[in-house]
Structures are given as C-alpha cells and as structure tokens.
Chains A and B, each alone.
Chain A
Amino acid sequence: MLRFLLGRVTLIIPTFVGVTFLSFILLHLIPGDPIEVRAGERGIDPVRLEELRHDYGLDQPLWKQFLDYEVQIAHGNLGVSMVTRETVWNEFSTLFPATIELTISAILFALIIGIPLGVIAAVRRGSPFDYGLMGMSVTGASMPIFWWGLMMILVFSVALGWTPVSGRISDAYFIEPWSGFMLVDCWYSDPGACRSAFSHLILPTIVLGTNPLALIARMTRSSMLEVLNEDYIRTARAKGLVASRVVIVHALRNALIPVVTVIGLSVGGLLSGAILTETIFSWPGVGHWLIESIQRRDYPVLQGGTLVIGVLVILVNLSVDLTYGYLNPRIRR
C-alpha cells in the first residue's frame, strides 16, 4: 500500500509542473496584450506602454517569465491581480467557498436523485420507466448549461415566481461572511436568511447537477445490471431474502464502487460546469472570477486560479485512486 501511495504521490510533481506549464503557455497564446486591452479605445502612449510592460515583467522573454513564475510559485506566492491589485490567494480564498457550496450541493443532488433512479431502472430493466429514464439521461448529459440555466430562470423565477433569479441570498439580508458558506453564515442573521439562502441555491444546484445526475444514473444502472446477474445475487434470492434487501444490501453496495470513481472524476467537470453556472446565476465563485479575468487578460489571476483548481482536481483524483486501491486490492499491485 505504501509503495502504491508513494508511486501516486510522485506522479503529482510532473503533473503539477505540466499544469503550470500548460496554463502559462495557453494563456500567453491568447492574443491581446493585457495593457492594451485595459487602455481600450482610448489607446495608450507608447512610452507609457513600455513602462507598464516593464513593471509587469511582460517585456521579458516568455521562458524567463515562466521561470520567474515557477520560482514565485515555489515560494508559495501566487502573485497579485493586475486589475484589483489584491493578492490572487486572497481573492481565491474569498470566492472559493461559494464554488464549493454550489459544487457540493450539486453532487448531493446528483447522488440523491441519480442513484435511486439508476437502481429502479436496473431492477425494472426494459420497462417504460427504464427507457424513459435512459432517454432523459442522454438529454441531461447533453444539455448546454447556458441554455438550461436561462430556461430554468425564465420558467421558475420569472413566469412562476417560485425561486429567486440569481445571487446567493436576498439583498434584504446583511450577512457578515464568517465561513464564506452562505448556508452556515445565514444562521447569524435574521431568521428568514437561511430560507432565502436555500431558495437561491435551488436552481443553480439543479442546473449544475443535471449533467452528473445523468451520468450517475446511467452508471448505477449499468453497474447494477452487471451485479444483479452475479451468482451470489441468485444465491441470496434462493435463500428467500426479500427483494429490497437483495437489491439494496447485496447488489447496490457492490455496484457503487465504479460510481465512486465516476464521482471523483466528475469533480473536474463540475468545476468547469460551475464556471458557466456561476456566470448565469451571478454566483460569486471562482468560475465567475476566472471568466472575468480572461476578458481582462489578468495573467496572474488566470495562472494562479487555474493552478489552484488544477491542484485540487489532482488531489481529488489522488484520493479517489487511494480509496479505490483500498476498496479493490487487485489494483494496488
């Protein structure tokens, strides 16, 4: 197990360097000088432009900029935003709880709805429910988030008035950010604050959770179908156990192992989905922040943000690998 762990951890280092290198190169491939973009139609005096390029280190050759950046990262410094002049880490840590809150609730939503649906579809294989669910899951997996989000707003917020349009909480409440998680901080405010925070979370959760829900439902179904044909299930049935016990205790527990992997792997997808969801619902998380920095060519924010998110995805994948290794001794070798 220790060797397995060491092997995996050692792999992190080249992956980490790869992420920094790729994010650096890709960002610098985007045409457009950050200073020219900021000056806009007004233009900028060429002398001043050179001064500013020098101040930001943009006049250095690309390899030098990359090396300087790596050294800076090695010192634990993600840099300072070119626009707001705040440190990238400060900005990230202020916004990240909102993204985490949204991502966790989307995963929970996908699990709570997706697993039972997958199980029912597997048990009633070939029934109209099964076909209906699989059809819906293909639709869910291929739904463009932007369109889906706007449709939900138009129907549930504008036409029916059931849910708020966007934001994290009604503007009537004044919340002091203590933990950054609105569902926690709301307890320190008025009694209605938590209800408001919860109602604001509903639509973004559904929109972000739709894609993983479809994936989890399909995965659970196919994995369940496989397990339900195993000999030990037949044995359990032959013993005269009630059907629900056979399905939930004997089959589902084993069928969930591949589902766990899917959840881990979809974290990266969820974070990229969060970028769009946050933009539509004015959700103040890191996705929203990164999109804005692309438009402003705020290199330090983009590089720092991509790096931290990249590291998080690596860590989640590592923990999935480790959990899987723990659950399935065959892959430890």
Chain B
Amino acid sequence: MTNRTAAACAVALAALLGATAHAKTFVYCSEGSPEGFSPMLFTSGTTFDANKPIYDKLVEFKPGTTEVQPMLAETFDASEDGTTFTFHLRHNVKWQSNANFKPTRDFNADDVLFTFERQWKDTNPYHKIAPAGGFQYFGDMDMPKLLKSVDKVDDYTIKITLNLPNAPFLADMAMDFSSIMSKEYADALMKEGKPELIDQNRIGTGPFELQQYQKDATIRYRAFAGYWGPKPNIDTLVFAITKDPAVRMAKLRADECQMAPYPPPADLTALKADKDLKVLSQSGLNFAYLAMNTEKKPFDNRDVRVAINMAIDKKAILDAVYQGSGIPAKNMIPPTMWSYNNSVEDFKYDPEGAKKLLAQAGYPNGFETTLWAMPVQRPYNPDGRRMAELMQADLAKVGIKAKIVSYEWGEYLKRLRNGEHDMAQAGWTGDNGDPDNFFDTLASCAAAKVGSVTRWCNKDFDDAVTKAATLSSQAERAKLYEQAQVVMHREAPYYLIAHSIVYLPMRATVTGYTMSPLGGHDFRMIDLK
C-alpha cells in the first residue's frame, strides 16, 4: 500500500513537473527598449508594444483591421449629432496587483474618469505628476480642444461630450494613450505619499501582468489569471530586446525567439526560403513623399509641381530603394484604407511633357533648387540619400538642377517646420486608421499654419476634409475624402512616392497572430504549435 501511495505521488509529481516544464513561453525579439510603462506618457510604437499586454482600452481595433470594436466598454453609442458618446462598461473586470497593492474592487467608471482627467485637467492631482513632456499624444490628437466633458452617469456608464462632432474620436479611444489606469491604485499611492510610482509599478486589466523588466535586456510577462477575456494560450511572454536587425534575424533562425520584426530588406529572400520560418506581410499605414514648399517660388506654380511629378521615375525608385518592399503611391492614404480613391490616375513618367510644362510656366531652361534628403531610415523610406540621388538625376534631365541637402534628423525637422526648404523628403505613419489622420493632420490649412511640409492650403481640399471629420456616416465621409484626393492630385503639392510593405518573420510554429495595419504588435491570441 505504501509503495502504491509512493508510486501515485511520484506520478503526480512527475505530472506536475511535466506541466511546469511545458509552460508555454513565447519570445518576441523586440527592436528596442520601451521608454517606460505608462502608455499615456509616451508616443513610440516600441513603448506601446510593451504596454499592450498589460492594459486595456474602452474600445479596440479589431485584429487585422482599423475597425473599432468593444473592449472594456461592452457596448457604445453615439448621439445623432455626433457630439456625445456613451460607453456601457463591462462588469467583473479584475485589476492586476503588485507587491504593494492589492485591489479591493473591480474596474468601473471612476477608473475611466481618472484616466482622462489625469491627462486633461490640471486640477487632477496626478496631472502634475507627469514630468516635463506630459501627455503628448493626448495633446497631439487634439483632445484638450475636442473634449467638453467626461461624465460618470453611473458606476458602469460613461458619457463623453465633445465640443464639435468628430468622427475619428472613437478610433482615438482605441489608441494606446487611452489605456485605462486604476483610480484605486492612484489613490492608494497618493495616500502613501508616493504618487510618482503610478508610472513605474504598472497595474492594468490586460491579459498579461508584468513580471520583470530588466532594462535594455528583457521584459517578462506572465498570463494574468483574473483576465476577463479569453485566457491567453501562452503562460509567459518575453520581449528579448535586440536592437541590431541582423542579430534579431540570427536569433529567430536559432529559435531563440519566435518572432522578430523589421527584417533588413536584403535578408527577405533568405528568410522566405527558410522552411522553419514564415514571413507575413502587409501594406503599411504610411506613405513617403517629396514635398514642395508652395510658399516659395517656383513651387507656388501648379505647372511646376506637376512637371516635377512627371519628371521623376517612380518605378526606378521602387526598384532601387524599396527592393520589393514598397508599392507606388498615388494618394496620401494607402489602398487598404477606406475612402481610398482608386480612380485617381497617377502621373506618367514623361520628361518631355515635364519640359513643356516647365516652359509654359516660364522656366524653359529649368531652374536651380535644393532637394532635402532624409538623414534617417524610416519604415516608409529605407534610404533617403539614394532616393534623392535618383530624383536629382531625373530632375537634371528636364533642366532642374537640384542640390542635395541633408541635416541631422532633429535639425532637419526643425528647419522643415521653419519652412527653410524648397523640396524635402518626409513621410507619415498613421495613428488610428482614420483618413482624417492623414488628410487633416498633414494637408489642411490648419496644418499649413503650424508648419506642414508643403505649406499648402487649398480651400476645396480643406472644406471637404474639415466637413468629413464632423459627419458620422462613413459612406458620406468617404465621398468627401475621395473628392479631396482628386483636388490633391490636380494641385500636386507632393510628389507621392510609396507605401511600404511591412514584413514580419516568425517561426513556422507560431499561430493565432494577425498583423495590425496600424503597425503595433499584439500577442493576446498568440499560440505555438
């Protein structure tokens, strides 16, 4: 009998050990260290990736789309005039805990109120706790101007009223700066006299809780047992911080990590050929452009701008610079975004036609100008210098002598804002999947006033874009944006270059992952075969 009991114990122990040994760990070779663990304080994608496992928002983007779906709000509705949004909150949502704090209540409307008031109102005691730099994204998305009031109707209902109708507002609520934080935790810290810890010892309602962060090395999360949604398929999620792209790919091949973003374009063929790996791809929510400063001569002349559009060979740039990781752009927004106007026909590469247009504009022998090359690599522009050289050669063929100019990145941005350039390369990556975030942010008259790269202000375009933001019907908005794209094509303030294709290599054993068109990485549903 004793032997049998011992044997049974041994079997149970073996099963237990087996279970421990088989705890599923997923390692993601991330590209950099997060700036911190408070999504409302920072703006980089790397930081948001590291915060996504911990926090939830009222609404989220449906995986693989830019469509908004419920998250901590079970349902939501908007008033007819588009100025009031009511969120009905989920019950029984548990908060995570840490060594110093054990929550006594579930998530409720007070937490939502706290999250927005902290970023918005300087009367909130935590507003000042944010160090210099503050709540940048909240400001960037124009929230202080947009919000009229955030009211708690009852413990599980929140009403947000806007100063004016704003259709992209719901998408803003799905962005990371809207991640919900615990008011109970904030109050407890304030009582202890350590309010600054709120941005360091993170408490969220998400599927994973932070177990350990070793600066510049690893971020380790474990599945949160009290999570309200479907339980994660993996027990441990690790971000192995690996800055060098070549080393990231080497780690992926050696199975030291199961997913590694941002592969060097030159490695793609080999990665795709590797049977142990698979490479997902998606067109990025971005575009690269050469902006013409319409406040300066001769770029105030539409014919000159069109001539430049005809003079540069886009295909050559895509082949030489993007090497298969880009698609030509003819509109600002990528073709995957709703309201993309496919009927717009891109300018044909036609140096002779360009010369004629230049002559018509009063520049039969061309002119001298400067062309600013981006000094840094960006997802939408892998090599600004090479691109500038190709452009320079093409422009020379029609008589335009462009001198390539470049500055250190911070200096480059500053001078662009001051409008010191003639023609300059730049680009944009969307925040929330709404066309407004491209058209209004970059090309409206309001943007021109605060220093958009083209300084272009066109009434027809501006009217369409401004009106579209106030409508709630997507179909009506789409019509206006389509018109705006026609105007932009006609006026040609940009030479639109490309939308990049984002590649994501991973081990063939990875399942349950959908790439986000917004560029972030979310591991809620991830699994390993």
Chain A complexes with chain B: yes
Write the residues of chain A forming the contact surface with B, with a CB cutoff of 8 angstroms: 30-34, 36-43, 45-46, 48, 52, 55-56, 80, 82-85, 91, 94-95, 98, 150, 153-154, 157-158, 161, 164-168, 170-172, 174, 176-177, 279-282, 284-285, 288-289, 292, 297
Compute how far the CA of A176 lies from the CA of B214 in the bound complex, rounded to whole angstroms: 10
B253 neighbours in A (Cβ, 8 Å): 158
Question: Which residue of chain A has the shortest Cβ distance to B133 in the bound complex?
Answer: A52
Q: Is the CB of A171 within 8 A of B240?
A: yes
B414 neighbours in A (Cβ, 8 Å): 32-33, 36
Once A41-B413, A43-B413, A297-B410 are accepted as A-B contacts, the answer to whether A150 and B243 lie under 8 Å apart by CB is no
Q: Is the CB of A171 within 8 A of B256?
A: yes
- Kindly identify which residue among A40, A45, A165, A171 contacts B238, using a CB–CB cutoff of 8 Å: A171
Does any Cβ of A come within 8 Å of B522's Cβ?
no
A-B contact pairs, 14 of them (CB 8 A): A33-B414, A42-B43, A45-B450, A85-B199, A94-B215, A150-B247, A158-B253, A158-B254, A166-B251, A167-B256, A171-B256, A279-B243, A288-B216, A289-B216
Q: Total A-B pairs in contact (CB under 8 Å)? A: 139
Q: Name the distance in Å between B288's Cβ and chain A's nearest Cβ.
A: 11
Does any Cβ of A come within 8 Å of B212's Cβ?
yes
Q: Name the distance in Å between B262's Cβ and chain A's nearest Cβ.
A: 14
Secondary structure of the B side of the interface?
A: mixed
**Using an 8 Å CB-CB cutoff, how does the interface string of B28-63 with A read, 1 for contact, 0 for none?**
000011011000010100000000000000000000
Interface centre among B32, B133, B199 (most CB of A within 10 A): B133
B318 neighbours in A (Cβ, 8 Å): none
Compute how far the CA of A297 lies from the CA of B408 in the bound complex, rounded to whole angstroms: 12
Does any Cβ of A come within 8 Å of B411's Cβ?
yes
Question: Which residue of chain A has the shortest Cβ distance to B130 in the bound complex?
Answer: A85
Once A43-B450, A161-B254 are accepted as A-B contacts, the answer to whether A282 and B215 lie under 8 Å apart by CB is no
A279 neighbours in B (Cβ, 8 Å): 243-244
Compute how far the CA of A77 lies from the CA of B256 in the bound complex, rounded to whole angstroms: 40
Compute how far the CA of A98 lies from the CA of B477 in the bound complex, rounded to whole angstroms: 55
Compute how far the CA of A158 lies from the CA of B378 in the bound complex, rounded to whole angstroms: 28
Compute how far the CA of A153 lies from the CA of B32 in the bound complex, rounded to whole angstroms: 20
B212 neighbours in A (Cβ, 8 Å): 174, 176
B427 neighbours in A (Cβ, 8 Å): 41
Q: Is the CB of B217 within 8 A of A158?
A: no
Beyond the given pairs A42-B43, A46-B417, A165-B247, 9 more chain A to chain B contacts, judged by CB atoms under 8 angstroms and listed by A's residue number, are: A40-B413, A55-B133, A161-B254, A165-B250, A167-B242, A172-B25, A281-B247, A282-B247, A284-B217
- Kindly identify which residue among B25, B139, B451 contacts A43, using a CB–CB cutoff of 8 Å: B451
A168 neighbours in B (Cβ, 8 Å): 217
Once A167-B240, A174-B220 are accepted as A-B contacts, the answer to whether A280 and B247 lie under 8 Å apart by CB is yes
B27 neighbours in A (Cβ, 8 Å): 171
Q: Name the distance in Å between A36's Cβ and chain B's nearest Cβ.
A: 4
B240 neighbours in A (Cβ, 8 Å): 167, 171, 282
Compute how far the CA of A172 lies from the CA of B257 in the bound complex, rounded to whole angstroms: 11
Compute how far the CA of A39 lies from the CA of B410 in the bound complex, rounded to whole angstroms: 9
- Kindly identify which residue among B139, B244, B407 contacts A282, using a CB–CB cutoff of 8 Å: B244
B215 neighbours in A (Cβ, 8 Å): 91, 94-95, 284, 289
B25 neighbours in A (Cβ, 8 Å): 171-172
Compute how far the CA of A36 lies from the CA of B416 in the bound complex, rounded to whole angstroms: 11
A31 neighbours in B (Cβ, 8 Å): 407-408, 410-411
Question: Which residue of chain B has the shortest Cβ distance to A292 in the bound complex?
Answer: B33
Residues B426-443 near A (CB distance < 8 A): 426-429
Q: Is the CB of B241 within 8 A of A36?
A: no
Q: Is the CB of A280 within 8 A of B244?
A: yes
**Using an 8 Å CB-CB cutoff, how does the interface string of B50-80 with A read, 1 for contact, 0 for none?**
0000000000000000000000000000000
A30 neighbours in B (Cβ, 8 Å): 408
Interface centre among B214, B220, B428, B450 (most CB of A within 10 A): B214
Residues B136-167 near A (CB distance < 8 A): 136, 139-140
A45 neighbours in B (Cβ, 8 Å): 139, 450
Question: Which residue of chain B has the shortest Cβ distance to A286 in the bound complex?
Answer: B216
Q: Name the distance in Å between B464's Cβ and chain A's nearest Cβ.
A: 23
Does any Cβ of A come within 8 Å of B211's Cβ?
yes
- Kindly identify which residue among A32, A48, A91 contacts B409, using a CB–CB cutoff of 8 Å: A32
Once A94-B215, A284-B215 are accepted as A-B contacts, the answer to whether A46 and B450 lie under 8 Å apart by CB is yes
Residues B443-479 near A (CB distance < 8 A): 450-451
Once A94-B215, A157-B250, A167-B218 are accepted as A-B contacts, the answer to whether A36 and B410 lie under 8 Å apart by CB is yes
